[in-house]
Amino acid sequence: MSEDITNGERKVGADIVNCTVVDNTATIEAGGLRNCDGTTTITNCIIWGNDPCQLVDSSTPTYSCFPGASGNNNIDGDPCFVDSANDDFHLKSAGGRWDGSSWVTDGVTSPCINGGDTSSVYSSEPAPNGCRINMGAYGNTAEASKSSKYHLVVYLDTDDQEPLSSDAQWQLQGYDTTWRNSAEAVLVDAGNYTIKCKCNSGTYYIAPDDLNITVGEGQPISYTRTYKACGYIIYVCYYYNDFGTYTGSPYVGWRVVGEGSWHNGQKKYVPGNYNVEFKSVAEHDTPSGTNVTVTKGSTNPGQDKEYQRNTFYIDVDDGSDSNKGGSMNRFRTIQKGFNMVPPKFPNDPDRWIYVESNYSTIYEGVTFPPYTRPCIIRSYSNLTVRGDHTPDNKPGYITAIGITFEEW
């Protein structure tokens, strides 16, 4: 039933849908609706301004507007009729409403627009209709007042047709901060927004990039965002700084060749082959680049990359061999420096040991490193180092095995 009742109570035993009952007066009981047998359902109706009351013996209305309404998706608010005194029960709308000959706009929008049952048919309402029926007599008709908001829905899928985890969600930035599930709809004003997607569970998919959209007449009302299957490239890069503590980002890290930013830890990539390079840091060896093959769900082996220091500092007066041999946190013995010199690398053969001492210039009993670990000693003053040299294990000077001295 869809009708205006303005001159007396309506006594019915059938269901009432999209009915407008306004400004009626009765001498007894309801001025609005009276339910004779108690089985009537009332849906999508506007019952307003009736005297002495709106409803008698009625089952609880749903998705309806009437004074004192609460619960069951009912509303208690002025329905904003155009001119009920002259029987114009169209709903005012900033989105547009029919005045009998053309569409005009109002400075207010009735709360009854898009207020009807979400399962009711709305296809006869003119766009934009919010994809939801209006309350009242003009719901799902060609004269239904237009919505000032547009219905928007985003669907989420994957490029390999596998199901997404439940925490894959989308957000309409510029509208609110709510995260919504796939196929969940939202009503928004015309304007510019950004669709952002996420998936927090660590599943092997990459969320789609942000998408800037325009909402308005003639624009799409639905979007599909596709998550890409992926694997992980993982490298944890670190080194000891001069204070003897581990240091990571931003000084060291890795990236796929061609990327602009450096990473430390893990990052998702779609399946394929990738060339990985590492960021250099002063006085440390940079790990060699490598190739990584990514498949869905894969992670690469050899994930830790500790940068080896190739320069060590020694101060026999103030150093401590519990340190890491940095310029501000020095070793105490030259033997410790020799032991820490890493193996020779073809592209970077020099290994430096800086020696400083105010009182001693002679070091005794030093075991020199083998030829695979050469180094250059730099000292403020003349320096004599004695010990066992390679390969014949006889006492001698350090210069006998090709380790050189330079001025600091």
Q: 278-335: per-residue pLDDT in tens?
A: 999 988 889 999 999 999 999 998 889 989 888 899 988 889 998 888 888 999 988 8
For residue 127, which of 56, 217, 33 has the smallest C-alpha distance?
Answer: 217
Rounded Cα–Cα distance for residues 109 and 324 (Å): 72
Per-residue pLDDT, 252: 96
Closest CA to 296 of 189, 159, 396, 397: 159
Other residues' Cβ atoms within 10 Å of the Cβ of residue 53: 18
pLDDT tier for residue 89 given thresholds of 50, 70 and 90: very high
pLDDT at 232 over 90: yes
R_g of the chain computed on alpha carbons? 40
Query: 378 φ, ψ to 5°?
Result: -115, 135
Query: pLDDT tens digits, residue range 187-223?
Result: 898 899 999 999 887 789 999 999 999 998 888 889 9
State the pLDDT at residue 345. Answer: 60
Phi, psi of 249, rounded to the nearest 5 degrees: -60, 145
> When comparing pLDDT for 88 and 31, which is higher?
88
Sorted by sequence, the CB contacts under 8 Å of residue 290 that are 6+ apart come out as: 275, 276, 302
Q: Where are the domains of the chain?
A: 1-147, 150-229, 231-306, 311-407
- Overall average pLDDT of the 396-407 stretch: 48
- Greatest mean pLDDT among 5-19, 124-138, 361-375 lies in 124-138
The pLDDT value given to residue 45: 94
The pLDDT tens digits for 330-388 are: 999 888 888 888 776 655 667 788 888 776 667 777 777 666 677 788 876 667 777 66
Residue 33 phi/psi, 5° resolution?
A: -120, 140
Task: Using the predicted structure, report yes or no on whether residue 402 has a pLDDT greater than 50.
Answer: no
Residues 4-17: what's their mean pLDDT?
Answer: 54
* Size of the chain in residues: 408
pLDDT, greater one: 340 or 226:
226
Q: Within 10 Å of residue 186's Cβ, how many Cβ atoms?
A: 18
Q: Which of 33-37, 90-94, 358-362 has the highest mean pLDDT?
A: 90-94
Distance (Å, whole) CA 306 – CA 287:
8
**Dihedral over Cα of 157, 160, 166, 170: its sign:** negative
Predicted local distance difference test score (pLDDT) of residue 144: 98
Cβ atoms 94, 80 nearer than 8 A: no
- Hey, which of 9-13, 28-32, 209-213 has the most confident mean pLDDT? 209-213
Specify the CATH number for 150-229; select among 2.60.40.1120, 3.90.400.10, 2.40.110.10, 1.10.10.10. Answer: 2.60.40.1120
Q: What are the distances in angstroms from CA 374 to CA 106, 207, 346, 364, 404?
A: 86, 50, 12, 19, 9
pLDDT attached to residue 157: 96
Measured over all CA atoms, what is the biggest interatomic distance in the chain, rounded to whole angstroms? Answer: 126
Mean pLDDT (the chain, rounded): 85
Residues 233 and 299: their CA atoms lie apart, in Å, by: 6
pLDDT at 381: 66
Q: Which of 15-29, 143-157, 265-279 has the lowest mean pLDDT?
A: 15-29
> How high is the pLDDT of residue 349?
63
Show the beta-strand stretches assigned E in 296-337.
304-306, 311-315
Identify the band that residue 139 occupies on the pLDDT scale cut at 50, 70 and 90.
very high
Nearest alpha-carbon partner for 76 in 46, 114, 56, 118:
46
Burial of residue 408, with CB atoms counted within 10 A of its CB: 0-12 exposed, 13-18 middle, 19 or more buried: exposed
pLDDT of res. 6: 42
pLDDT category, 88, cuts 50, 70, 90? very high
Q: Which residue has the higher pLDDT, 96 or 130?
A: 96
| Cα-based torsion angle of the residue sequence 336, 345, 277, 260 in order, rounded to the nearest 10 degrees | 80
- Is residue 187 within 8 Å of 256, Cβ to Cβ? no
The CA–CA distances, whole Å, from 268 to 229, 291, 300, 301, 306 equal 9, 15, 11, 15, 22
Residue type, 139: G
232, β-bridge pairs: 268, 299
Q: What is the pTM of this model?
A: 0.65
Most confident of the following: 25-29, 138-142, 309-313: 138-142
Instruction: Kindly report, residue by residue over 255-280, the tens digit of the pLDDT.
Output: 999 999 999 999 999 999 999 999 99
